């Protein structure tokens, strides 16, 4: 799997994904770094088969309106520590891996559950 972490996601999360054997980059490592526009991040992620990891609801909106990014991991946890986030990611990493083979998916991580919308579900 390949992860592209948005500007408000810590490098500690990038390093966690790398420690698990996944490819992971931070938006500050590509294009215009923290100045990169959301649509450019989506385009880059889609072109390179990255899962966008973000706390930004604009990406969720774009997923539904523009079908981009194609693969999105939305963190809905407010201000929690990186260690708490890593623990939650560890608990759902195999679910993320399962959905990675889909063409489109949105996984939202909440404190007590995760929700998934994938390309098998038609939204009208």
Please, which residues have CB within 8 angstroms of residue 62's CB and are 6 or more apart in sequence? 38, 39, 42, 68, 69
Q: What is the pTM of this model?
A: 0.92
Instruction: For 73-97, write each residue's pLDDT tens digit.
Output: 999 988 889 999 999 999 999 989 9
- Domain residue limits, the chain: 2-118
Instruction: For 44-64, write each residue's pLDDT tens digit.
Output: 999 999 999 999 999 999 999
Is the Cβ–Cβ distance between 88 and 109 less than 8 Å?
yes
CATH topology of domain 2-118: Rossmann fold (3.40.50)
Position with higher pLDDT, 65 vs 32: 65
Average pLDDT over residues 37-41: 94
Residue 120: band (very low, low, confident or very high) from pLDDT cuts 50, 70, 90: low
Residue whose tokens read 């889609």: 46
**Distance in angstroms (rounded) separating the CA atoms of residues 115 and 122:** 15
């Amino acid at each position: 799997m390949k992860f592209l972490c948005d500007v408000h996601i810590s490098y500690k999360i990038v390093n966690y994904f790398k420690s698990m054997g996944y490819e992971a980059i931070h938006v500050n490592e590509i294009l215009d770094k923290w100045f990169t526009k959301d649509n450019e991040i989506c385009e880059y992620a889609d072109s390179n088969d990255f899962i966008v990891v973000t706390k930004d609801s604009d990406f969720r909106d774009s997923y539904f309106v523009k079908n981009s990014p194609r693969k999105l991991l939305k963190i809905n946890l407010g201000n929690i520590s990186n260690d708490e986030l890593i623990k939650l990611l560890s608990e759902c990493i195999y679910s993320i891996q399962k959905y990675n083979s889909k063409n489109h998916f949105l996984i939202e991580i909440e404190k007590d559950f995760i929700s998934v919308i994938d390309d098998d579900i038609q939204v009208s």
